[in-house]
Amino acid sequence: NAGVTQTPKFRILKIGQSMTLQCTQDMNHNYMYWYRQDPGMGLKLIYYSVGAGITDKGEVPNGYNVSRSTTEDFPLRLELAAPSQTSVYFCASSQPGQGGYEQYFGPGTRLTVT
Amino acid sequence: GDSVTQMEGPVTLSEEAFLTINCTYTATGYPSLFWYVQYPGEGLQLLLKATKADDKGSNKGFEATYRKETTSFHLEKGSVQVSDSAVYFCALRGLGGGNKLTFGTGTQLKVEL
């Protein structure tokens, strides 16, 4: 049981490039999330999903897109990378009604845009 | 909207000292409250939680009590160890759908010998 896995661990992008951050969970959780963590700012929710085919915006969705075609996978897409998207990105999952709604986090992807 | 305010860090303590990290919140109704811990280079892990007023969450020697009257959920530990050095996040789960969490900005704890 690997939990929540994210790839890559590190990435450097040039301004204007695009990339997809991968997230997979093997706990059969319906709910999945993407956060970004900036120094001194805590975690901000980018997008979330309550099940396959259903996604919704969080607090800071601009510049990102998501899809949820399966229960296990929740990729995050950056179309035109900007320096403001330099951050650490965390994926998380949870299952309603289990464990007091605990969210389980992946190890993170550190992204630098130059 | 919902918000969480934590004391700023870093907090530096000697081993075996008493720890308090303050957390207050603003939310509609009765949110669930959480403390998450992030060790260097890792993702967040749930440390403890409380789902209703006056509940006390506890784990690994850490405790926090859900105080509705003061809208607080302060984290305490009687005797910290070097291995407790990490960043601690207070969070709440509000009434909206999706089981979304609102996080505080985090408090870095450094424990020295």
What pLDDT, in 10s, does the model give residues A68-89? 999 999 999 998 999 999 999 9
Using the CB atoms, write b or e for B55-64: b if 16+ within 10 Å: eebeeeebbb
**What is the identity of the amino acid at B112?**
E
A1-29 average pLDDT score: 95
Residue whose structure tokens are 């939680």: B49
Rounded-to-integer distance, Cα B97 and Cα A109, Å: 26
Q: Provide the shortest C-alpha distance from residue A105 to chain B (in Å).
A: 6
Question: Average pLDDT of A39-67?
Answer: 93
- A-interface mutation test, from B47, B100, B107, B108, most A Cβ less than 10 A away: B100
By CA distance, what is A90's nearest residue in B?
B43
> At A78, which amino acid appears?
L
Q: Do B45 and A105 touch (CB under 8 A)?
A: yes
Is residue B103 less than 8 Å (CB to CB) from chain A?
yes
Cα angle value B49/A42/B30 (rounded, 5°): 40
User: What letter would DSSP give residue B84?
Assistant: G
**Residue B4 near residue B94, CB atoms below 8 Å:** no
- Percent of chain B whose predicted confidence (pLDDT) is above 90: 81
Chain B residue closest in CA terms to A103: B46
Q: What is the percent of chain A with per-residue pLDDT over 90, rounded to a whole number?
A: 87
Q: What is d(CA A87, CA B37) in angstroms, rounded to the nearest whole number?
A: 19
Confidence of residue B66 (pLDDT cuts 50, 70, 90): very high
Q: What is the pLDDT of residue A102?
A: 85
Query: Which residues on chain A are in Cβ contact (under 8 Å) with B100?
Result: 33, 45, 48, 58
Per the CB < 8 A criterion, the answer to whether B86 and B94 are in contact is no
Residues of A in contact with B106 (CB under 8 A): 40, 42
Q: Looking at the complex, report in whole angstroms how far the Cα of residue B44 sits from the nearest Cα belonging to chain A.
A: 6
Sole residue written with tokens 């296990």: A72
Distance CA A50, CA A93 (A): 10
Q: Within an 8 Å CB–CB cutoff, is residue B51 touching chain A?
A: yes
Q: How far apart are the first and last CA of chain A?
A: 36
Confidence of residue A100 (pLDDT cuts 50, 70, 90): low
Average pLDDT over residues A32-44: 91
Tell whether B93 is within 8 A of chain A (Cβ): yes
- Residue A98: what pLDDT? 61
CB B33 within 8 A of CB B91: yes
Predicted confidence (pLDDT) per residue in B14-54, tens digit: 999 999 999 999 998 889 999 999 998 888 999 999 998 99
The DSSP bridge pattern shows strands A87-94 and A109-113 to be antiparallel
